[in-house]
Amino acid sequence: MTAAKDSNIALLTEEDAAAELARLAAEIAHHDKLYHQKDAPEVSDADYDALRRHNDAIEAKFPELIREDSPNKRVGAAPAEGFTQVRHSRPMLSLQNAFADEDVFEFFARIRRFLGLDAEAEIAVMGEPKIDGIAAALRYEDGVFVQGATRGDGVTGEDITRNLKTLDEIPERLSGEAPAVVEVRGEVYMTREGFFEMNRKREAEGAAVFANPRNAAAGSLRQLDPKITAARPLHFFAYAAGELSAPVADSHAGFLKRLDGWGFHTNPLARLCKSPEEVLALYREILEARPELPYDIDGVVYKLDRHDWQDRMGMVSRAPRWAIAHKFPAEQAQTVLHRISIQVGRTGALTPVAELEPITVGGVVVSRATLHNEDEIARKDVREGDTVIIQRAGDVIPQVVRAIEEKRPAGSEPFVFPTECPICGSLALRDEGEVVRRCTGGLICRAQAVERIKHFVSRNAFDIEGFGRKHVEAFWADKLIESPADIFRLRDHAEALESREGWGEQSAINLLESIEARRSISLDRFIYALGIRQVGEATARLLARQYGELAAWRAAMTAAAEERAGNREEAKKPELVGEAFAELCNIDSVGFSVADAITDFFAEAHNQTILDDLDAELTVVPVEAPASTSPVTGKTVVFTGTLERMTRNEAKARAESLGAKVAGSISKKTDYLVAGPGAGSKLTKATELGVEVLSEDDWLALISN
């Protein structure tokens, strides 16, 4: 937290603070989902940590404004679909962070104050490298490995047992004596050497490469096919206990010895320290050794050694009081920014990129770095020709930190952000309230068309095996594909495929078979594959559930687009626009902004043409009805107020699992309003419209039938 931000917080009014906490909760939740569920972070660890510290500072000044969805009340993100869910017997907590030596001294002082220890009492703390991988929990019963799970949201994770069984460093059976139930927690990771070798192979095959070893490990572990996981160079370090049916040690050091005895790998750099000075010495040793380690680390974790003291200290919100992660500073280097280029993404977003004199940062050669958006360029006053500081914060995304003004060339001019698309020449507009400028050319813009096709064939969309980014670019350049539907007409060009350099009869057959296997696709994946702005996997599933089949969805969206076209200046009250638009906005988690993005897509004639083309080539499978009916199947339900026997998210998930549609607001199509204490305007409107109102107990009684 900078001094400037601290002073800004001091000036916040209560109203401003509440608005800022709402913004931070949404932004941090977005990044949590990208990191924990998608394995695709879009900000650096340092930027993420800055958001968390800003949120913490506001909550400290305004404790009465702490939100139910505060980042400090959750861990990670909800499990992704595709895996069976596992509820952790003990929550898999996150850790509070330390960034300076003073934070470490305060950690020791806090332990001393909490436990009432005198100034002379020794506090032993285990220091361990913080591995940059993906956390996993392994359950053993009678010494046999029976279940493995990801962290998920800290309470519920994904069952990845079959994948974990492919790792040589995870024993199938514990060596020596062990309690009836043992849960071992640790980190699945990939060495840098294994990561580079895997990326080389993927690039040669035309497949997308991973950004870093952490993403590669996470993506490899969360495969539905364990054969893919088995082919990836994954490793495991054990470092903590979950559920234990009987104690196995009275200290963390003792537990690490038991882990070694059971056949696990523990980190050899772990060391027991007995003062803040000793842990800081260990921190600096590990920081200095970091470039030479075969795996990535982003800090050192300190854990109070005595288990009885750990139990006494307990936890606060999402983290234990007895442990802390001391993060490494972002690695930086100095180089020259030769030019600023503009990339155009599949949604038309213009993103500035710094083209750099190649420089090694954190063991990786960096020649390009993100400049985020035009506001960032202006704020940092970064210019072509500048000498700049580059950092790879958290070893994720290289970014330009600042320009060194005293080294700026004479006659340098501020960068002028383009108002036309550099690819197709269409107007590039920036909507009010947005930081991104977008090309208005749509699919007539080559960059957007190519990027949308890449998205169309990606893993969570059509998932066409062997159809990598390089294939899309090459086929587009040779005019073999110009729209998504052309992919399914490639069978008409079989001879042309076979004759391509590096291809042959078998490789062409393999690709065409992969394409044919995807001619039938579920409605939710089809919607997601279209690449509509703001429509991710979760929103695509909501739309598919709401409208059921492709024809119904298209008809409703076309009607909503026609209604919106004549009411662009209306206030954000969907019911003033039209019935179809209001129904779209009313879907839980959709809202006005997402509805606008969808109707903008349907308002473009060429997008309707693409949908017609795809409809002729594909079988889009309607959403299946629930296997068994329930009293709420097909009913529209709204939840409001405070639920006391379950969380709001649990209630929504349970309703959807029983075939209900969960909406965000009351309309004449609402069947039930489930109202807890604190219900306000929704209860009033439900009464006015004659919607049946249920208490939480009424709702539970209804669904129990």
CB-count exposure of residue 124 (10 Å: 0-12, 13-18, 19+)? middle
Backbone dihedral region of 525: left (phi > 0), alpha (psi from -120 to 50 degrees) or beta?
alpha
* CA distance linking residue 686 with residue 224, whole number of Å: 43
H/E stretch holding 301: strand 297-304
Residue 341, strand partner residues: 353
SS3 191: coil
User: What is the arrangement of strands in the sheet containing 144-150, beginning at the earlier edge strand?
Assistant: 144-150, 134-141, 181-190, 234-244
CA-wise closest residue to 665 among 601, 575, 603: 575
DSSP secondary structure, 7-74, as one string: HHHHT--HHHHHHHHHHHHHHHHHHHIIIIISS---S-HHHHHHHHHHHHHHHHH-GGG--TT-GGG-
Answer yes or no: are the C-beta atoms of 188 and 236 closer than 8 Å: yes
CA-wise closest residue to 407 among 332, 335, 356: 335
CA-wise closest residue to 330 among 377, 380, 399: 399
DSSP class of 415? -
DSSP class of 95? -
Q: Tokens for 476, please give them.
A: 């587009």
Residue with tokens 């509820």: 87
Q: Which of 33, 130, 303, 327 is catalytic?
A: 130
**Amino acid letter, 562:** E
**Amino acid letter, 560:** A
Answer yes or no: are the C-beta atoms of 471 and 206 closer than 8 Å: yes
CA-wise closest residue to 422 among 486, 352, 347: 352
Phi, psi of 364, rounded to the nearest 5 degrees: -125, 135
Residue 635 is a catalytic residue: no
Active site residues: 130
